[in-house]
């Protein structure tokens, strides 16, 4: 599939189960802690991957290295009763969880638990190979989800950070966020603007190298 090895496919499958599940659970748990019981009522306050994984988003992660899970339903009004930053805190909890997972995987590499240079001798990836893919994809998910376009988490972070006088204009264009995102991902490379190569790749590689100490 798109030139991926069996080892890479297996690594991505295991990574998405962990990364997506904990990402969405972090959204749900943060909302619950802030007084919004909507995720709990929707059955999302769980570590069961089946409650969180989106089939097409999962497939995209395997094939393209990025993807998405089912969004966690929240009640912004319930969150704002606790704090004006409630929706932003729920949104940023997911990407920060991916960054934490990447850091934990990188620490295992740094502490010599597994070597990233050992070559696999079967269809299964080595522990080091899996950890490297695990770190890489979690950093990619961290960066991708912070893009300030709906429906990504970064859009809610930007909304909170914007000065009040700018928000009216922001609300007028936010509905077009998914269209802009789709154009960036699909059409962008055709016109010389590769979202992942132009914006994400460089910080992705820098963060990954920093975390693993390469």
Are 128 and 118 within 8 A, CB to CB? yes
Query: Catalytic pick from 8, 24, 155, 159?
Result: 24
C-alpha distances (whole Å) from 188 to each of 61, 69, 183, 185 are: 19, 23, 6, 6
Q: How far apart are CA 207 and CA 202, in angstroms?
A: 9
Are 129 and 11 within 8 A, CB to CB? yes
Verify whether residue 202 is a known catalytic residue. Answer: no
Q: For 75, left (φ over 0), alpha (ψ -120 to 50), or beta?
A: beta
Q: What is the CA radius of gyration of the chain?
A: 18
List, in order, residues 6 or more apart from 201 with CB less than 8 Å away: none
Which segments of the chain are extended strands (E)? Answer: none
Residues marked as catalytic: 24
């Amino acid at each position: 599939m798109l030139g991926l090895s069996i080892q890479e496919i297996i690594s991505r499958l295991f990574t998405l189960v962990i990364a997506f599940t904990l990402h969405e659970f972090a959204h749900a748990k943060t909302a619950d802690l802030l007084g919004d019981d909507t995720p709990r009522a929707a059955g999302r306050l769980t570590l069961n991957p089946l409650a969180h994984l989106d089939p097409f988003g999962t497939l995209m992660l395997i094939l393209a290295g990025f993807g998405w899970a089912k969004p966690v339903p929240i009640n912004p009004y319930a969150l704002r009763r606790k704090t004006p930053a409630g929706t932003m805190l729920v949104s940023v909890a997911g990407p920060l969880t991916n960054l934490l997972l990447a850091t934990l995987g990188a620490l295992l590499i740094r502490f010599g638990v597994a070597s990233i240079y050992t070559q696999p001798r079967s269809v299964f990836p080595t522990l080091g190979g899996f950890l490297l893919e695990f770190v890489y994809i979690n950093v990619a998910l961290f960066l991708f989800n912070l893009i300030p376009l709906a429906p990504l988490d970064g859009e809610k972070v930007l909304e909170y950070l914007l000065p009040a006088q700018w928000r009216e204009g922001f609300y007028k264009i936010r509905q077009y966020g998914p269209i802009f995102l789709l154009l960036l991902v699909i059409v962008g490379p055709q016109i010389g603007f590769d979202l992942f190569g132009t914006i994400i790749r460089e910080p992705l590689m820098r963060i990954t190298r920093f975390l693993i100490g390469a």
